Amino acid sequence: MYLTRTKASTPGNRPKKPSLRLKQLLMLTVLALLIPAGSVISVPNASAAGISKPFPQQVNYPGMIKPNHITQSTMNQSVSSYYDYWKSTYLKNNLTSLPGGYYVKGNITGDPDGFTALGSSEGQGYGMIITVLMAGHDSNAQTIFNGLFKTARAYKSSGNPNLMGWVVADSVQAQGHFGSATDGDLDIAYSLILAHQQWGSDGTVNYLNEAKKMITDGIKASYVTTNYRLNLGDWDSKDALNTRPSDWMLSHFRAFYEVTGDPVWIQVIDHLYSVYEQFTTSYSSSTGLISDFVVDNPPKPAPEWYLDEFKETNQYYYNASRFPLRIVMDYAFYGDSRGKAAADKLSAWIKTKTNGSPANIKNGYKMNGTAIGDYATAVFVSPFISAGAANSSNQAWVNAGWDWMKNKKEDYFSDTYNLLNMLFISGNWWVPTAETQPPVTNLALNKQAVTSTIEGTGFEADKAFDGNLMSRWASNEGSDPEWIYVDLGSVQNISAVKLRWEAAYATQYKIQVSSDTGSSPVNWTDVNTTTNGDGGEDNITFAPQNARFVRMFGTVRGTSYGYSLYEFEVYAASTP
């Protein structure tokens, strides 16, 4: 998501929360008169019935530090005060076209296509995460969260209805009119997992089911590319090599894996770490910085004016500025040392660059560390402070950063991201230990395979069973029929096959099974026949079968080439 970036007004949009009830205000007033000045007032959680993790949670993440020149209570008070300011400034529920719908108000960049843009999917995602984490402090949090989700669902994407269109406008015609933006949907899905942990899924919204559906039918279906990167929206290609590091929400993906059991999320994490390592080795070895957009393979900075957004798309600018928080969270929440290594490199460079003063951080840098900005803004400063919290040698830096952050108030984009960082640094962003699903096991992974023909060296049968979406099996060009089968090693009870086709696909083919003994089956049984294949990803289910061998038997090609599969996966009957 790209938003207007000026010194007086930076990117964004978010909904506004209602104030406490009069009775609570009177209680707070009485307490304020009775409690000495400077004390922290803690409101009883009587209104938090059914809340599992009321604010403040003040978690201590292993290996991380917090500001140590103030108390935890003082930090909590700063967060709650900043939230109250944020809520009154940006959280809105005045949509005449969607009564009960909340949104986060903020400016956007890009073409609103004749509508008056009020907010974005990015804002919805941020707002939903903030709201669920502040439940307990805000007695109306669940109502607001559900209102934000109502808007996210009403303003569905024109490309994939399981995702959100990137623009919020007060018009029924805007609902379903716009394509999606990856970052907003990732945060929205993640917030639903948090909501399931916070309130359970037995109320008016089944948060867990909504999260699973969005993760699999929305995000995975539209955003995860064949090379395990993330594209930019559901309008983008599944073969795209362009990606935006601000979307690399690695700890989100671990939560996605926990609730779905789908190993693709671990593959995405590993691949994005690899992209970061390749990129920084070539372009930012002394800084650890990464550009707003990354393209190609090997990865490199996008050119200037990429997608006609703004000139600095090849620099560390208003998109990439969010990256340090995203990567350090993977270390703080899940202990990945790669996240710590990246955070430490960024911290060492920025501390040296600014002589240890967070106020000297600028709003933009070249890959070599040369400043292209001229002032400090929270969306650049706060993530660097979060990254610094991964190393005890940065204690003075974190202390100074917190003091800078807690009173910084600018505009939607900076203020909202500032609040997210404050929640993280203070330990009030807790890890969702969702209901873990057993991993979905691909029975064909790394098993022996046989094919009728191969196009040439590098396209052997085993390439369709290696778990790598960057390698593939390919048959001879221009001939029918062609086939490929896998030996599962023993008889298994199976009921599903997934075929990930390359551009050379079958329009007509059969899935066949065999339980013959030996390694060269002769007797095959048809369990599924496809007559109108169109390539892409085919998810095929059939009645449970006992089989040792599983074959794709292609009879009609969809192109003048041969048949080609990135992956041929086989699943047990008990697997959804």
The CATH number of the domain holding residue 464 is: 2.60.120.260
Structural domain includes residue 365: yes
Structural domain includes residue 144: yes
Considering the domain architecture, whether residues 415 and 467 belong to the same structural domain is answered as: no
Considering the domain architecture, whether residues 417 and 475 belong to the same structural domain is answered as: no
Residue 526, both tokens: 């048809």
Structural domain includes residue 4: no
Considering the domain architecture, whether residues 203 and 129 belong to the same structural domain is answered as: yes
Structural domain includes residue 444: no
What's the pLDDT at 574?
56
Span 501-545, pLDDT tens digits? 988 999 999 999 999 988 899 999 999 999 999 888 888 989 999
Query: Is 183 assigned a catalytic role?
Result: yes
Structural domain includes residue 16: no
Closest C-alpha to 289, from 196, 209, 361, 222: 361
Low-confidence residues of the chain: pLDDT under 70: 1-49, 436-437, 574-576
Tell me which amino acid residue 399 is.
N
- Structural contact between residues 465 and 550, judged by C-beta atoms closer than 8 angstroms: no
Structural domain includes residue 14: no
φ, ψ (nearest 5 deg) of residue 477: -80, 140
- Structural contact between residues 565 and 552, judged by C-beta atoms closer than 8 angstroms: yes
The dihedral of CA 462, 544, 509, 162: what is its sign? negative
Strands (E), 186-338: 294-295, 300-301
Which residue of the set 84, 111, 138, 183 is catalytic? 183
What's the pLDDT at 49?
47
Last residue of a domain, one of 376, 410, 425: 425
Considering the domain architecture, whether residues 313 and 191 belong to the same structural domain is answered as: yes
φ, ψ (nearest 5 deg) of residue 500: -110, 100
Structural domain includes residue 89: yes
Considering the domain architecture, whether residues 380 and 474 belong to the same structural domain is answered as: no
Domain span holding position 289: 22-425
Considering the domain architecture, whether residues 91 and 37 belong to the same structural domain is answered as: yes
How far is Cα 246 from Cα 223, in angstroms, rounded to an integer? 14
Considering the domain architecture, whether residues 260 and 216 belong to the same structural domain is answered as: yes
Which H, E and C letters describe 462-477, residue by residue?
A: HHHHCCCCCCCEECCC
Structural domain includes residue 441: no
Considering the domain architecture, whether residues 75 and 214 belong to the same structural domain is answered as: yes
Longest dimension (CA), the chain: 88
Closest C-alpha to 488, from 575, 571, 576, 563: 571
User: Count of alpha carbons within 13 Å of 514, Cβ hemisphere only?
Assistant: 16
Tell me which amino acid residue 303 is.
P
Tell me which amino acid residue 242 is.
N
Considering the domain architecture, whether residues 402 and 503 belong to the same structural domain is answered as: no
Considering the domain architecture, whether residues 420 and 360 belong to the same structural domain is answered as: yes
Considering the domain architecture, whether residues 411 and 470 belong to the same structural domain is answered as: no
- Structural contact between residues 153 and 121, judged by C-beta atoms closer than 8 angstroms: no
**Cα 221-215-440 angle, rounded to 5 deg:** 85
Domain of residue 381, CATH code: 1.50.10.10
Helix (H, G, I), strand (E, B) or coil at 6: coil
Considering the domain architecture, whether residues 145 and 260 belong to the same structural domain is answered as: yes
Q: Please, which residues bridge with residue 365 across strands? A: 316, 371
Last residue of a domain, one of 392, 425, 458: 425
- Structural contact between residues 185 and 165, judged by C-beta atoms closer than 8 angstroms: no
How far is Cα 148 from Cα 161, in angstroms, rounded to an integer? 16
Number of separate domains in the chain? 2
- Structural contact between residues 311 and 232, judged by C-beta atoms closer than 8 angstroms: no
